Amino acid sequence: MDKKNKDLVSIIRGTSVNSNFTKSIHFDQRLYKQDILCSQVHALMLEKLDILNEEERKILIDGLNIIKEEIELGEFVWKDQYEDIHMNIESRLNEIVGSLSGKLHTGRSRNEQIATDTRMYVKDAIQEIRELIFNLQVSLIDISQANFSIIIPGYTHLQRAQPVTLGHHFLAYFHMLERDYERFQRAYLSSDVLILGSGALAGNSFEIDRQFLAKKLGFSKISQNSLDAVSDRDFILDFVYASMACMLHLSKLSEELILWSSSEFSFVSIGDEFTTGSSMMPQKRNPDFAELIRGKSGRVIGSLVSIATTLKALPLSYNRDLQEDKEPLFDSFDTLRDSLQVMTGILKSLTFHDSRIKQVTNESFMIATDLADYLVKKGMPFREAYAKVSLELKNLMSTKKSFNDLKLEDFKKISELFENDVLDMTIEDVVNSRNSIGGTSFSSVSRSIKEAKILLNKKKSF
């Protein structure tokens, strides 16, 4: 390290013997693209202010491009003594272009620089996450359409409740993910604010054209209060919250696939590339990938708590606590990105066991509600019909009879109002009677699939 750079670091750091405690370069180096672009646009601004001439601006931008290439080729040497992404790049720029590099920090603070870099990173991350959510939604529609006619037990309290179509079940996750997509859209809006020009906290004494900076860096809005701008991390809170909600949905889906692939259910098999064998029991295939998605949801929940706790009770404006915002942010992004990719692969690998599903559906008494509804249509109050059906079905179920085994005399034990037409009732009839908007009937699910495809086609045009 040359003397000038040593002096600069000592001035910024102070004389603490525990200066390693303050370093962030081991995680904030992933902001290099955003930091370099931010510096290049700042050089353009300094040229507009006649602080740089055209030749100096070109030298600085070219030097920053050299640094970017070195980083991407793995040739850049990250040095702990420079503490963070900004000082590492500034130091290397000094080695390349000399003392001219010192002009680049004119009119800006690291407080606004790191916040701008992070906003740009979050915007890029959201674009990637939204694309992965889109891909997973496509897979859910494909499953719903390919297995359109399969009827499965619908559950409440993990007890067989009423029959639903397989398509209806997986479309439920499509709509969960749609809410996630919308949450990330809102997180994008909160990130899409330029704060350059805010200085360390009080604004800027140079006549910086913030509209110019916003346009060059791709921001649609400009911050209106410098104190708020340099300390605002709500956009990270929004991103991590959206990530947490999406991971909760992936965890729910993972849990169902884990249950359904167990021998107790045997509704589905997960492809071998997404399961692992047991080290001791050769007959087992474990749904480890789905279990890891389920487990990793805890990481993102923890990240949300970490960010919220860091932001709690911070006085205005910038505080070094805010350095702790990035690791939870980066970990949330990495975890969600990987989980979305893996879940899309899992869904594409599924094989449904139609015969087993049909067996379970037929042997259960999920038509109980419809038997009560039958009596209601004959004039019996629902509560009375419910009680009669509930009492007699307990007796019938103890005999191990299925619905298909019942005779008219069995129904007569419930009520004399039952007639021969009850014997014509099928599980398909029960499903198709739920034909309201959002219901599970074949026609309703068909409409839902068409509407979901329209929704996805609209996203393609964005």
Has residue 457 been placed in a domain?
A: no
- Nearest residue to 37 via CA among 123, 147, 99, 95: 123
**Averaged pLDDT for residues 34-42:** 97
Report how far apart, in Å, the C-alpha atoms of 446 and of each of 36, 143, 152, 174, 434 are. 50, 13, 17, 14, 13
Paired with 269 in beta bridges are 351
Q: Are residue 258 and residue 399 in the same domain, yes or no?
A: no
- Nearest residue to 188 via CA among 238, 222, 245: 238
Q: Indicate which residue of 10, 149, 262, 278 is catalytic.
A: 278
Q: Is 278 a catalytic residue?
A: yes
382-398 vs 368-377: helix crossing angle, rounded to 10: 140
Q: How far apart are CA 403 and CA 201, in angstroms?
A: 73
Q: How far apart are CA 136 and CA 176, in angstroms?
A: 11
**Averaged pLDDT for residues 28-44:** 97
Show Cβ contacts of residue 212 under 8 Å, excluding neighbours closer than 6 positions. 44, 45, 48
Q: Are residue 215 and residue 302 in the same domain, yes or no?
A: yes
Alpha helices in 29-107 (DSSP H): 32-48, 54-72, 85-97
Has residue 447 been placed in a domain?
A: no
Structure tokens at 32: 């290099």
**Helix, strand, coil share (%) of the chain residues, nearest 5:** 70, 5, 25
Question: DSSP code of 421?
Answer: G
**pLDDT value of residue 280:** 63
With cut-offs at 50, 70 and 90, classify the pLDDT of residue 255.
Answer: very high
Has residue 444 been placed in a domain?
A: no
Has residue 89 been placed in a domain?
A: yes
Q: Are residue 145 and residue 278 in the same domain, yes or no?
A: yes
Q: Are residue 240 and residue 298 in the same domain, yes or no?
A: yes
Q: What is the CATH number of the domain that holds 296?
A: 1.20.200.10
Neighbours of 159 (CB within 10 A): 8
Asked whether 314 and 321 are in contact (CB, 8 A), the reply is yes
Structure tokens at 386: 């419910």
Q: Domain boundary at 304, 330, 359, which?
A: 359
Q: Are residue 321 and residue 236 in the same domain, yes or no?
A: yes
Asked whether 425 and 367 are in contact (CB, 8 A), the reply is yes
User: What integer best gives the mean pLDDT of the chain?
Assistant: 92
Q: Indicate which residue of 99, 157, 279, 461 is catalytic.
A: 157
Q: Are residue 98 and residue 140 in the same domain, yes or no?
A: no
Q: Domain boundary at 78, 106, 134, which?
A: 106
Q: Domain boundary at 106, 126, 153, which?
A: 106
Q: What is the pLDDT of residues 353-382, one digit of tens each?
A: 999 999 998 887 888 888 999 999 999 999
Has residue 460 been placed in a domain?
A: no
Of 17 and 109, which is predicted with more confidence?
109
Q: How far apart are CA 129 and CA 109, in angstroms?
A: 30
Q: Are residue 226 and residue 249 in the same domain, yes or no?
A: yes
Q: Are residue 100 and residue 160 in the same domain, yes or no?
A: no
Q: Is 105 a catalytic residue?
A: no
Q: Are residue 97 and residue 196 in the same domain, yes or no?
A: no
Cα–Cα–Cα angle for 36, 70, 93, rounded to 5 degrees: 55
DSSP 124-173: HHHHHHHHHHHHHHHHHHHHHHHTTT-EEEEEETTEEEEEEEHHHHHHHH
Q: Is 209 helix (H, G, I), strand (E, B) or coil?
A: coil
With cut-offs at 50, 70 and 90, classify the pLDDT of residue 283.
Answer: low
Asked whether 140 and 174 are in contact (CB, 8 A), the reply is yes
Structure tokens at 233: 């991390």
Q: Are residue 319 and residue 180 in the same domain, yes or no?
A: yes
**Averaged pLDDT for residues 421-444:** 92
Residue 24, amino acid: S
Number of domains in the chain: 3
**Averaged pLDDT for residues 78-105:** 94
**Averaged pLDDT for residues 270-299:** 88
Has residue 329 been placed in a domain?
A: yes
Cα–Cα–Cα angle for 415, 417, 423, rounded to 5 degrees: 90
Handedness of CA 330, 335, 338, 341 (dihedral sign): negative
With cut-offs at 50, 70 and 90, classify the pLDDT of residue 329.
Answer: very high
Q: How far apart are CA 445 and CA 166, in angstroms?
A: 10
Q: What is the CATH number of the domain that holds 74?
A: 1.10.275.10
Q: How far apart are CA 197 and CA 189, in angstroms?
A: 20
Has residue 8 been placed in a domain?
A: yes
Q: Are residue 354 and residue 379 in the same domain, yes or no?
A: no
Q: Which residue has the tokens 């904030």?
A: 28
Q: Are residue 380 and residue 394 in the same domain, yes or no?
A: yes
Asked whether 115 and 232 are in contact (CB, 8 A), the reply is yes
Show the domain range for 392.
Answer: 368-424
Has residue 442 been placed in a domain?
A: no
Q: Is 362 helix (H, G, I), strand (E, B) or coil?
A: helix
Structure tokens at 308: 């919220």
Asked whether 100 and 59 are in contact (CB, 8 A), the reply is yes
Residue 98, pLDDT > 70, answer yes
